[in-house]
Protein backbone atom coordinates (compact mmCIF):
# COMPACT_ATOMS: atom_id res chain seq x y z
CA UNK A 1 0.00 0.00 0.00
CA UNK A 2 1.13 3.57 -0.63
CA UNK A 3 2.56 5.54 2.30
CA UNK A 4 0.26 6.77 5.06
CA UNK A 5 0.71 9.98 7.02
CA UNK A 6 -0.41 9.75 10.65
CA UNK A 7 -1.04 12.80 12.77
CA UNK A 8 -2.99 14.01 15.77
CA UNK A 9 -2.67 16.48 18.60
CA UNK A 10 -0.78 15.69 21.78
CA UNK A 11 -2.59 13.00 23.79
CA UNK A 12 -4.94 12.17 20.94
CA UNK A 13 -3.75 8.55 20.93
CA UNK A 14 -1.53 8.85 17.87
CA UNK A 15 1.18 6.61 19.32
CA UNK A 16 -1.40 3.97 20.20
CA UNK A 17 -2.68 4.07 16.61
CA UNK A 18 0.89 3.89 15.30
CA UNK A 19 1.50 0.73 17.33
CA UNK A 20 -1.72 -0.82 16.03
CA UNK A 21 -0.62 -0.06 12.47
CA UNK A 22 2.73 -1.73 13.17
CA UNK A 23 0.72 -4.71 14.41
CA UNK A 24 -0.98 -4.77 11.01
CA UNK A 25 2.41 -4.97 9.27
CA UNK A 26 3.22 -1.32 8.62
CA UNK A 27 6.72 0.11 8.98
CA UNK A 28 6.67 3.12 11.28
CA UNK A 29 8.81 6.15 10.49
CA UNK A 30 8.54 8.12 13.72
CA UNK A 31 9.71 11.68 13.07
CA UNK A 32 9.71 12.56 16.77
CA UNK A 33 11.98 9.62 17.54
CA UNK A 34 14.27 10.68 14.68
CA UNK A 35 14.42 14.23 16.08
CA UNK A 36 15.26 12.87 19.53
CA UNK A 37 18.04 10.65 18.13
CA UNK A 38 19.51 13.59 16.21
CA UNK A 39 19.72 15.60 19.44
CA UNK A 40 20.72 12.82 21.88
CA UNK A 41 24.36 12.58 23.05
CA UNK A 42 26.50 12.25 19.92
CA UNK A 43 23.50 13.16 17.74
CA UNK A 44 24.26 14.37 14.22
CA UNK A 45 22.41 17.67 14.66
CA UNK A 46 24.32 18.79 17.75
CA UNK A 47 27.34 20.46 16.12
CA UNK A 48 25.11 22.68 13.98
CA UNK A 49 22.86 23.47 16.96
CA UNK A 50 25.84 24.36 19.15
CA UNK A 51 27.19 26.58 16.40
CA UNK A 52 23.88 28.37 15.88
CA UNK A 53 22.81 28.71 19.53
CA UNK A 54 25.99 28.34 21.56
CA UNK A 55 27.32 25.41 23.59
CA UNK A 56 25.05 26.45 26.48
CA UNK A 57 22.23 24.68 24.61
CA UNK A 58 23.93 21.36 25.38
CA UNK A 59 23.54 19.69 28.77
CA UNK A 60 26.20 17.92 30.86
CA UNK A 61 25.83 14.74 28.76
CA UNK A 62 26.37 16.67 25.55
CA UNK A 63 22.74 16.22 24.48
CA UNK A 64 20.41 19.03 23.51
CA UNK A 65 19.08 20.76 26.63
CA UNK A 66 15.46 20.41 25.66
CA UNK A 67 13.86 22.61 28.27
CA UNK A 68 16.29 25.45 27.60
CA UNK A 69 15.74 25.13 23.86
CA UNK A 70 11.98 24.96 24.33
CA UNK A 71 12.10 28.19 26.34
CA UNK A 72 14.12 29.92 23.66
CA UNK A 73 12.00 28.89 20.66
CA UNK A 74 8.80 29.56 22.59
CA UNK A 75 9.86 33.17 23.06
CA UNK A 76 11.57 33.77 19.73
CA UNK A 77 10.12 32.86 16.33
CA UNK A 78 13.42 33.46 14.54
CA UNK A 79 15.17 30.99 16.85
CA UNK A 80 12.44 28.46 16.12
CA UNK A 81 12.99 28.92 12.40
CA UNK A 82 16.76 28.52 12.84
CA UNK A 83 16.33 25.30 14.77
CA UNK A 84 13.89 23.94 12.21
CA UNK A 85 16.24 24.86 9.36
CA UNK A 86 18.83 22.61 11.00
CA UNK A 87 16.58 19.74 12.05
CA UNK A 88 13.98 19.41 9.31
CA UNK A 89 16.33 18.50 6.44
CA UNK A 90 18.11 15.97 8.67
CA UNK A 91 14.81 14.44 9.77
CA UNK A 92 13.77 14.24 6.12
CA UNK A 93 16.96 12.46 5.10
CA UNK A 94 16.69 9.90 7.88
CA UNK A 95 12.98 9.35 7.20
CA UNK A 96 13.79 8.71 3.52
CA UNK A 97 16.44 6.21 4.54
CA UNK A 98 14.03 4.33 6.81
CA UNK A 99 11.28 4.38 4.19
CA UNK A 100 13.65 3.00 1.55
CA UNK A 101 14.55 0.15 3.91
CA UNK A 102 10.86 -0.78 4.25
CA UNK A 103 10.88 -2.35 0.79
CA UNK A 104 7.37 -3.41 -0.24
CA UNK A 105 5.82 -2.89 3.17
CA UNK A 106 3.55 0.07 3.83
CA UNK A 107 5.29 3.03 5.41
CA UNK A 108 3.50 5.08 8.06
CA UNK A 109 4.98 8.53 8.63
CA UNK A 110 4.14 9.53 12.20
CA UNK A 111 4.25 13.32 12.19
CA UNK A 112 2.81 15.27 15.15
CA UNK A 113 2.77 18.57 13.24
CA UNK A 114 1.82 17.34 9.79
CA UNK A 115 1.02 20.55 7.89
CA UNK A 116 -1.35 20.70 4.90
CA UNK A 117 1.52 21.89 2.70
CA UNK A 118 4.64 19.95 3.65
CA UNK A 119 7.00 17.24 2.51
CA UNK A 120 5.03 14.74 4.61
CA UNK A 121 1.75 15.69 3.00
CA UNK A 122 3.36 15.20 -0.41
CA UNK A 123 4.87 11.82 0.55
CA UNK A 124 1.69 10.39 2.04
CA UNK A 125 -0.96 9.02 -0.29
CA UNK A 126 -3.47 9.01 2.58
CA UNK A 127 -3.71 10.85 5.87
CA UNK A 128 -5.04 9.35 9.10
CA UNK A 129 -5.96 11.86 11.79
CA UNK A 130 -6.46 10.71 15.38
CA UNK A 131 -8.93 13.04 17.01
CA UNK A 132 -10.46 13.63 20.43
CA UNK A 133 -11.72 16.56 22.48
CA UNK A 134 -9.22 18.99 24.04
CA UNK A 135 -10.45 18.01 27.48
CA UNK A 136 -9.58 14.40 26.74
CA UNK A 137 -6.15 15.45 25.44
CA UNK A 138 -5.51 17.34 28.68
CA UNK A 139 -6.66 14.53 30.89
CA UNK A 140 -4.47 11.96 29.11
CA UNK A 141 -1.31 14.08 29.01
CA UNK A 142 -1.70 15.23 32.63
CA UNK A 143 -1.99 11.57 33.60
CA UNK A 144 0.77 10.31 31.30
CA UNK A 145 3.36 13.05 31.81
CA UNK A 146 2.33 14.75 35.06
CA UNK A 147 2.09 18.14 33.34
CA UNK A 148 -0.19 20.90 34.59
CA UNK A 149 -3.37 21.60 32.64
CA UNK A 150 -1.99 25.04 31.67
CA UNK A 151 1.12 23.44 30.16
CA UNK A 152 -0.90 20.96 28.14
CA UNK A 153 -3.22 23.71 26.91
CA UNK A 154 -0.27 25.87 25.85
CA UNK A 155 1.17 22.98 23.83
CA UNK A 156 -2.22 22.36 22.23
CA UNK A 157 -2.41 26.05 21.31
CA UNK A 158 0.90 25.75 19.46
CA UNK A 159 -0.21 22.75 17.42
CA UNK A 160 -2.43 22.85 14.35
CA UNK A 161 -6.10 23.58 15.04
CA UNK A 162 -8.25 20.44 15.12
CA UNK A 163 -10.31 21.62 12.16
CA UNK A 164 -7.18 22.08 10.01
CA UNK A 165 -6.01 18.58 10.84
CA UNK A 166 -9.37 17.01 10.17
CA UNK A 167 -9.74 18.86 6.87
CA UNK A 168 -6.81 16.98 5.36
CA UNK A 169 -7.83 13.56 6.66
CA UNK A 170 -8.73 10.62 4.47
CA UNK A 171 -9.79 8.92 7.69
CA UNK A 172 -10.49 10.41 11.11
CA UNK A 173 -10.23 8.02 14.04
CA UNK A 174 -12.38 9.32 16.89
CA UNK A 175 -10.55 8.29 20.04
CA UNK A 176 -12.93 9.49 22.70
CA UNK A 177 -14.90 7.26 25.04
CA UNK A 178 -13.51 4.04 23.57
CA UNK A 179 -11.08 1.51 25.02
CA UNK A 180 -7.57 0.98 23.70
CA UNK A 181 -8.75 -2.39 22.40
CA UNK A 182 -11.59 -0.79 20.44
CA UNK A 183 -9.11 1.75 19.11
CA UNK A 184 -6.80 -1.02 17.88
CA UNK A 185 -9.77 -2.81 16.35
CA UNK A 186 -10.76 0.36 14.49
CA UNK A 187 -7.24 0.61 13.09
CA UNK A 188 -7.34 -3.03 11.95
CA UNK A 189 -10.63 -2.45 10.15
CA UNK A 190 -9.28 0.63 8.39
CA UNK A 191 -6.18 -1.30 7.38
CA UNK A 192 -8.31 -4.12 5.97
CA UNK A 193 -10.49 -1.66 4.08
CA UNK A 194 -7.55 0.15 2.52
CA UNK A 195 -5.84 -3.10 1.63
CA UNK A 196 -8.92 -4.53 -0.07
CA UNK A 197 -10.47 -1.56 -1.83
CA UNK A 198 -12.36 -3.74 -4.30
CA UNK A 199 -14.35 -5.73 -1.78
CA UNK A 200 -17.08 -3.08 -1.50
CA UNK A 201 -17.69 -2.66 -5.22
CA UNK A 202 -18.24 -6.25 -6.22
CA UNK A 203 -21.63 -6.79 -7.86
P1 LIG B 1 -0.12 10.80 21.54
O2 LIG B 1 0.92 9.92 20.88
O3 LIG B 1 -1.17 11.28 20.59
O4 LIG B 1 0.45 11.91 22.39
P5 LIG B 1 -0.70 8.44 23.12
O6 LIG B 1 -1.01 7.39 22.12
O7 LIG B 1 0.66 8.40 23.78
O8 LIG B 1 -0.95 9.91 22.53
O9 LIG B 1 -1.85 8.44 24.21
C10 LIG B 1 -1.76 9.30 25.35
C11 LIG B 1 -2.09 8.49 26.59
O12 LIG B 1 -3.47 8.16 26.58
C13 LIG B 1 -1.34 7.16 26.66
O14 LIG B 1 -1.03 6.90 27.98
C15 LIG B 1 -2.35 6.17 26.11
O16 LIG B 1 -2.16 4.87 26.60
C17 LIG B 1 -3.67 6.76 26.58
N18 LIG B 1 -4.78 6.47 25.66
C19 LIG B 1 -4.90 6.82 24.36
N20 LIG B 1 -6.06 6.39 23.84
C21 LIG B 1 -6.71 5.76 24.84
C22 LIG B 1 -7.98 5.09 24.94
N23 LIG B 1 -8.83 5.00 23.90
N24 LIG B 1 -8.32 4.54 26.13
C25 LIG B 1 -7.46 4.63 27.20
N26 LIG B 1 -6.27 5.25 27.17
C27 LIG B 1 -5.90 5.81 26.02
Q: Is 16 touching ligand 1 by the criterion CB < 6 Å?
A: yes
Q: What is the pLDDT of residues 118-169, one digit of tens each?
A: 999 999 999 999 999 999 999 999 999 999 999 999 999 989 999 999 999 9
197 pLDDT band (50/70/90 cuts)?
A: low
Determine the atom of ligand 1 nearest the C-alpha atom of 175. 23
- Mean pLDDT throughout 182-194? 96
Cβ 62 vs Cβ 10: under 8 Å: no
Tell me how crowded residue 120 is: count the other CB atoms within 10 A of its CB: 22
Residues whose CB is less than 8 angstroms from the CB of residue 106 and which lie 6 or more positions away in sequence, other chains included: 1, 2, 3, 4, 25, 26, 27
Does residue 198 have a pLDDT over 90? no
pTM, full prediction? 0.92
Q: What is the pLDDT of residues 60-82, one digit of tens each?
A: 898 999 989 988 888 898 999 99
Rounded Cα gap, residues 115 and 140, in angstroms: 24
What residue owns the CA closest to ligand 1's atom 6?
A: 13
What residue owns the CA closest to ligand 1's atom 19?
A: 13
For each of the domains in the chain, give its residue range(s) and CATH number, in order of start: 1-26+106-197 (3.40.50.300), 36-104 (no CATH)
What residue owns the CA closest to ligand 1's atom 18?
A: 13
- Tell me the pairing of strands 107-110 and 4-8: parallel
Amino acid sequence: MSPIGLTGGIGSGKSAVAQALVGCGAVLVDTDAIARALTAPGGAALPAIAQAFGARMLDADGALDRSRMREQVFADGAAKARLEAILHPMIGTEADRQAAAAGERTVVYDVPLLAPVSRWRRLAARIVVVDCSEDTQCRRVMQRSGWSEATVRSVIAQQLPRATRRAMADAVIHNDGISLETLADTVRRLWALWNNPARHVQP
